[in-house]
Amino acid sequence: MLGMTNSTTTPSRFRFGFMVPLLGIALVLALACNTAKPRAAADDNFRGIANVHDAPKQIDVPKATPRAKYVFLFIGDGMGANHVRLAELYQQQTVPSMREAQMVFSTFPIRTFATTHSLNSDITDSAAAGTALATGHKVDNGVVGKDMQTDTPLTTIAEKAHRRGMKVGILSSVSIDHATPACFFAHQNNRSMYYEIAMSLGKSGFAFFGGGGFKFPRGPNGISADAFDAARSDGYTLIQSAEALQALPGHVDKLFVMHPALQSEGEMPWAMEADTYLRMPLADIVAKAIEQLDGKNGFFMMVEAGKIDWASHENDGAAALHEVLAFNNAIQQAVAFYRRHTDETLIVVTADHETGGLGLGNNTIPMTLRVPLLKYQKLALGTLAAAIDDQLGSGASFEKAMAFITRVTGLGDKQKGLGLTAAEQQRLELAYQAMTRANLAVPTPLLGYGNTKGRFGNLAAVAVDLLNQKAGIGWSSLSHTAAPVPVYAIGAASNRFDTPLDNTDIPKQMAKAMGW
């Protein structure tokens, strides 16, 4: 089974009872519990409390089948349960009911959680978590698809599928040599070996890569052989426009589809910045991947929404929720395919870890959420910061910088419910001063932040933080957390996920679902 070792501890089943004052009644209850027939577990290795809900009417759930022919694994990088809920609360402002605001994967009949610790840390990084999801093995943080004790590659579920004649697709909204996608086709000592990972892409023989490009296509120094040329030499057709994608004549043996407006690190644009993102959204690339991979032997597809994590590292609530919405749109493509092949399709949606410690509620406006206020933010924090830097480089006054911030975030507009208090105005002014006067000592308590990532001296970050506070959301970290992540499943053999899980269990159960 993918060469996996038993490196995790399976959650145990806990039983709770009630104390009653009468011994006779207690005895009767005890006998009833002992004689009740326990519900069968999906597998002998998994004995936990299931978290199952009836499937909604709009999705037809097939009877259990012995084998999944078409398998989708969707990974929301950094996506915790509160990220999903935030997106649904935001969505609720445009639909008549909370049910209609749900993400499509929230309606799947199997909903549970998975632990994410790595081999050497309670808090994982994306490489160790990606390796666990791809191979079923725990590794140290930073390692991509290798057993470092024996210095040998760990076989991934994608490689296993490819060797069995299934077509394989690997997609991501960030660069395809980034940690999570890399874990399904590469084997390196460290995730930072982007160039080596990129050069190994073509050797995989997988039928489809899509979304982002390469972070360092000519190596970190820009002088090495081009990784894109290497992919072409390995037989890949490279596409980087919506027009060329639509004009493809049927099936292409090996296809690498990149967004036409890739950003500085080879990633797709922010979903909230729709003018660039919508030239070729992740959903369109997933749809093309399904078209290219569909065949008599079935397929395995991994799709990562990588920028949920990026937004959460910046504690940018608006950007994060829009990435979740774009992720949901991509999953809708798989659900449409599932409806045509209900007896043979398995869809699993999860995350590699939670990022940011996102909380729905804060001390600024206790017991209150005003999530719709996030609709006024039009730029992700990184884009906003770059725009403000340009303005300040041109000598913009605080008033001019604030006029721009108000225009793209709503912050400071009383009619939108985003007026500023005197203390909030002071925090923004101090951040402006910190950016324009190199030697100014800024009193951190007034700004309300530690010096993590230079945040208190970043006018864009202070503005986004204030908007988050007014919306009622909070963050506990600028990094990953140890929070369990949600797991959703539907389709053939999805009952195998009907239990609390560790991330290493997910590829093992997918393999069993495929009859391996």
Q: How far apart are CA 316 and CA 294, in angstroms?
A: 37
User: Which tokens belong to 422?
Assistant: 């005197």
pLDDT score of 267? 98
Q: Does residue 516 surpass a pLDDT of 70?
A: yes
User: Which tokens belong to 515?
Assistant: 């009859």
Window from 156-160, 216-220, 307-311, 430-434 with minimum mean pLDDT: 430-434
For the segment 54-80, what is each residue's pLDDT rounded down to a tens digit? 333 345 554 545 589 999 999 999 999
pLDDT score of 24? 41
Q: Give 63 or 158, the one with higher predicted confidence.
A: 158
pLDDT score of 119? 98
Q: Are 461 and 385 in contact (CB under 8 A)?
A: yes
pLDDT score of 11? 38
Q: Are 464 and 377 in contact (CB under 8 A)?
A: yes
Q: Are 484 and 116 in contact (CB under 8 A)?
A: yes
pLDDT score of 96? 85
pLDDT score of 438? 56
Q: What percent of the chain has pLDDT over 70?
A: 84
Q: What percent of the chain has pLDDT over 90?
A: 80
Q: Does residue 263 surpass a pLDDT of 80?
A: yes
Window from 56-65, 96-105, 179-188, 465-474 with minimum mean pLDDT: 56-65
Q: How does residue 19 score in pLDDT terms, banded at 50, 70 and 90?
A: very low
Q: Does residue 35 surpass a pLDDT of 50?
A: no
Q: How far apart are CA 325 and CA 2, in angstroms?
A: 33
Domain boundaries, the chain: 70-358+479-513, 377-473
DSSP state of 154: P
Q: Which residues contact 446 (CB under 8 A, 6 or more apart)?
A: 426, 427, 430
Top-tier CATH class for 70-358+479-513? alpha beta
Q: Are 69 and 345 in contact (CB under 8 A)?
A: yes
**Max CA distance (Å), the chain:** 84
pLDDT score of 98? 86
Q: What is the mean pLDDT of residues 196-218?
A: 98
Q: What is the mean pLDDT of residues 419-433?
A: 95
Window from 233-242, 418-427, 432-441, 470-479 with minimum mean pLDDT: 432-441
Residues in the chain, total: 516
Q: Does residue 42 surpass a pLDDT of 50?
A: no
The chain-wide mean pLDDT, for the chain, equals 87
DSSP state of 269: P
Enumerate the H helices of 149-281 as residue ranges: 157-163, 179-182, 194-200, 227-233, 242-246, 274-277
Other CB atoms closer than 10 Å to residue 286's CB: what's the count?
25
pLDDT score of 1? 43
Q: How far apart are CA 494 and CA 104, in angstroms?
A: 16
Q: Does residue 33 surpass a pLDDT of 60?
A: no
Q: Does residue 303 surpass a pLDDT of 60?
A: yes
Q: How far apart are CA 464 and CA 411, in angstroms?
A: 9
For the segment 342-371, what is each residue's pLDDT rounded down to a tens digit? 999 999 999 999 999 999 999 999 999 999
Q: How far apart are CA 428 and CA 388, in angstroms?
A: 13
pLDDT score of 249? 79
Q: Which residues contact 340 (CB under 8 A, 6 or more apart)?
A: none
Q: Does residue 5 surpass a pLDDT of 50?
A: no
pLDDT score of 445? 41
Question: Exposure pattern of 183-217 as b/e (b: 16+ CB <10 Å)?
Answer: bbbbbbebbebbbbbbbbbbebebbbbbbbbbbbb
Helix axes 422-436, 398-409, angle to 10 degrees: 120
Q: Which residues contact 459 (CB under 8 A, 6 or more apart)?
A: 385, 388, 392, 401, 405, 428, 431, 432, 435
| Cα distances (angstroms) measured from residue 371 to each of 114, 356, 477 | 27, 17, 20
Q: Are 476 and 39 in contact (CB under 8 A)?
A: no
Q: Give 257 or 3, the one with higher predicted confidence.
A: 257
Q: In the beta sheet, which residues pair with residue 474?
A: 359
pLDDT score of 208? 98
Q: How does residue 508 score in pLDDT terms, banded at 50, 70 and 90?
A: very high
pLDDT score of 454? 58
